[in-house]
C-alpha cells in the first residue's frame, strides 16, 4: 500500500542507488520504508519532464553562406533562428531565455564570460548535433549532456542518497508493472524532488545481498558452456556499516541443479530430500533457470555478488537464459522488459548492454 511509504505531509523518502533511462525518462531504483512493518522494500521511481539545457553563444556578426557579414547580431536574431531550428526538429514544447555564463574550458575562441541564449526542451526529443552552428550563433553547449548527468547536476546529488519527493509530484497509479519492485511511482514534476540533508540524520537503509555461484559443463556437440547447478547465499537486510565477519552473519542458501546426463546417480534424490528447500532438483537447464529466477525474485536482492561474476558468470547466465528462452529472464534486474536487446551477445560491444539488464540490482 503506497500510504505506508508516505510521511505525514504525503511526501515520500526514497533512498536511490541505481538508475537507467528509457525514452527520455529517468528510472531510479532504491528503497523506501514500509511504515506498517518497519522494513525497507524495493522501490521504482520514473522521473519525467527533465529538460535538456542548451546554451547558444551568439556571433558578433551574422554569417551567411560561410562568410561573415557586417550585420550585427542581436539576441532576438538568435532567438528567431533557434526557434526555427526547434520547428525543424519537430520540438513544439521548448523554452528560450537569455542568460549570462562563465566558461572555463579549453576552446580558444570562447569568451571567459558572455551572454548566451538558454534553450530547454525534453529529453524524449532528439539531441542536436554537437558541432551545430548557425548564422547567428557559433557554438552550442550541452548537446551531449546525458539525462542522468543533467538530473544529478540540477539536484546537486553526489551519489546514492536519500531523496524527498513532494506529495503533489507523486502519482502512484500512473506506473503499473514497469518493474519488479514492490512500490512504483511516477514523478512528472521533477522540481518536487530534493535531497535530504545531513540534519535529517538518516542512515542508508539495509540492503539484501545475494552471492551467486554457477557450475557448468561443456556441450561438446555445440561447443557451448551449459549450467548444471546454480547456488546462492542470501544475506537479508544487511547494514552497510556492519563490521561482522561474513561467516558470523545470518543467511540462507538455496541450490538448484539438474543431472549431468539422463538422470541423477542412484540414491541421490533420496539424499537431496533431506535438504528439501535448500536443494531443488530439476530435469533440464531451462527448468533450472526458471526456478533460479523465481527464487531470486522471491528474495529480491539489491546487490548481486560472485567470484568473477562481472566478467564470466553473469554473461554466461544471460546467454543461457536467452538460449533456453527463459520466461521472465529480466528478473535478473528490476526493470521489466519485453525483448532482449538487439546487440546483446555481439562481442565486446555487448558489455554495457549486459550491465544495463541488471539495472536496479548492483553487481
Q: Which three cell numbers stand for residue 15?
A: 533512498
- Tell me: pLDDT of 303 over 80: yes
Asked whether the beta carbons of 57 and 110 are under 8 A apart, the reply is: yes
CATH number of the structural domain 51-147: 3.30.70.2820
pLDDT of residue 270: 80
Whole-angstrom Cα distance, residue 272 to residue 164?
A: 49
Whole-angstrom Cα distance, residue 32 to residue 6?
A: 9
pLDDT of residue 261: 83
- Range list for CATH 3.30.420.10 in the chain: 207-357
- Range list for CATH 2.40.50.730 in the chain: 2-41+153-200
Confidence of residue 112 (pLDDT cuts 50, 70, 90): very high
Whole-angstrom Cα distance, residue 260 to residue 284?
A: 10
Whole-angstrom Cα distance, residue 163 to residue 205?
A: 13
Q: Residues 209, 213, 218, CA angle at the centre, nearest 5°?
A: 155
Asked whether the beta carbons of 193 and 150 are under 8 A apart, the reply is: no
E strands, 23-112, are: 25-33, 40-47, 51-58, 61-64, 67-72, 95-102
Confidence of residue 336 (pLDDT cuts 50, 70, 90): very high
- Tell me: pLDDT of 199 over 70: no
pLDDT of residue 28: 97
The region, left, alpha or beta by phi > 0 then psi within -120 to 50, assigned to residue 78 is alpha
- For the stretch 30-74, pLDDT in tens is 999 999 999 999 999 999 999 999 999 999 999 998 888 999 999
The mean pLDDT of the chain is: 91
Mean of pLDDT values over 318-325: 93
pLDDT of residue 247: 83
- Range list for CATH 3.30.70.2820 in the chain: 51-147
- Tell me: pLDDT of 349 over 70: no
Confidence of residue 348 (pLDDT cuts 50, 70, 90): low
Whole-angstrom Cα distance, residue 280 to residue 346?
A: 33
For the domain made up of 2-41+153-200, give the CATH fold.
Answer: OB fold (Dihydrolipoamide Acetyltransferase, E2P) (2.40.50)
In the chain, the percentage of residues whose pLDDT exceeds 90 is 67
pLDDT of residue 139: 94
Confidence of residue 276 (pLDDT cuts 50, 70, 90): confident
Distance of CA 184 to the CA centre of its chain: 14
Asked whether the beta carbons of 45 and 185 are under 8 A apart, the reply is: yes
Q: Which residues pair with 33 in a beta bridge?
A: 40
- For the stretch 147-176, pLDDT in tens is 999 999 999 998 999 999 999 999 999 999
Q: Which CATH superfamily is domain 207-357 in?
A: Ribonuclease H-like superfamily/Ribonuclease H (3.30.420.10)
Q: At what angle do helices 314-323 and 285-299 cross, to 10 degrees?
A: 120
Confidence of residue 253 (pLDDT cuts 50, 70, 90): very high
Q: Which three cell numbers stand for residue 184?
A: 512504483
Beta strands across the sheet bearing 252-257: 279-281, 252-257, 224-238, 207-219, 303-305
Mean of pLDDT values over 337-352: 78
- For the stretch 227-242, pLDDT in tens is 999 999 999 989 888 8
- Tell me: pLDDT of 285 over 90: yes
Amino acid at each position: 500500500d503506497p500510504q505506508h511509504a508516505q510521511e505525514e505531509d504525503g511526501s515520500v523518502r526514497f533512498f536511490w542507488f541505481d538508475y537507467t533511462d528509457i525514452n527520455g525518462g529517468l528510472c531510479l531504483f532504491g528503497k523506501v520504508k514500509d511504515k506498517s512493518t518497519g522494513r525497507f522494500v524495493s522501490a521504482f521511481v520514473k522521473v519525467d519532464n527533465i529538460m535538456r539545457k542548451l546554451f547558444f553563444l551568439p556571433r558578433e556578426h551574422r554569417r551567411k553562406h560561410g562568410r561573415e557579414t557586417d550585420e550585427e547580431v542581436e539576441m532576438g536574431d538568435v532567438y528567431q533562428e533557434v526557434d526555427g531550428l526547434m520547428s525543424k526538429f519537430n520540438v513544439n514544447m521548448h523554452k528560450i531565455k537569455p542568460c549570462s555564463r562563465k566558461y572555463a574550458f579549453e576552446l580558444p575562441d570562447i569568451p571567459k564570460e558572455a551572454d548566451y541564449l538558454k534553450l530547454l526542451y525534453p529529453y524524449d526529443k532528439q539531441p542536436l548535433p554537437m558541432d551545430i552552428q548557425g548564422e547567428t550563433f557559433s557554438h552550442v553547449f550541452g548537446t551531449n549532456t546525458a539525462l542522468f548527468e543533467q538530473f544529478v547536476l540540477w539536484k546537486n546529488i553526489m551519489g546514492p542518497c536519500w531523496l524527498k519527493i513532494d506529495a503533489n509530484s507523486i502519482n502512484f497509479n500512473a506506473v503499473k508493472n514497469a518493474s519488479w519492485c514492490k512500490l512504483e511511482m511516477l514523478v512528472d514534476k521533477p522540481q518536487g524532488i530534493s535531497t535530504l540533508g545531513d540534519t535529517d540524520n538518516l542512515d542508508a537503509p539495509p540492503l539484501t545481498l545475494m552471492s551467486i555461484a554457477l557450475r557448468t559443463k561443456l556441450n561438446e556437440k555445440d561447443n557451448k558452456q551449459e549450467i548444471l547447478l546454480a547456488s546462492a547465499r542470501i544475506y537479508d537486510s544487511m547494514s552497510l556499516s556492519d563490521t561482522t565477519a561474513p561467516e558470523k552473519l545470518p543467511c540462507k542458501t538455496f541450490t538448484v541443479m539438474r543431472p549431468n546426463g539422463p538422470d541423477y546417480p542412484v540414491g541421490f534424490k533420496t539424499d537431496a530430500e533431506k535438504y528439501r528447500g535448500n536443494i531443488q532438483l530439476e530435469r533440464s537447464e531451462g527448468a533450472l533457470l526458471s526456478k533460479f529466477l523465481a527464487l531470486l525474485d522471491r528474495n529480491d536482492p539489491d546487490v548481486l555478488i560472485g567470484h568473477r561474476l562481472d566478467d564470466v558468470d553473469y554473461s554466461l547466465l544471460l546467454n543461457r537464459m536467452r538460449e533456453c528462452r527463459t520466461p521472465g529472464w529480466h528478473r535478473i534486474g528490476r526493470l521489466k522488459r519485453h525483448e532482449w536487446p538487439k546487440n546483446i551477445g555481439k562481442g565486446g560491444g555487448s558489455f554495457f548492454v549486459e550491465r544495463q539488464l541488471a539495472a536496479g540490482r548492483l553487481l
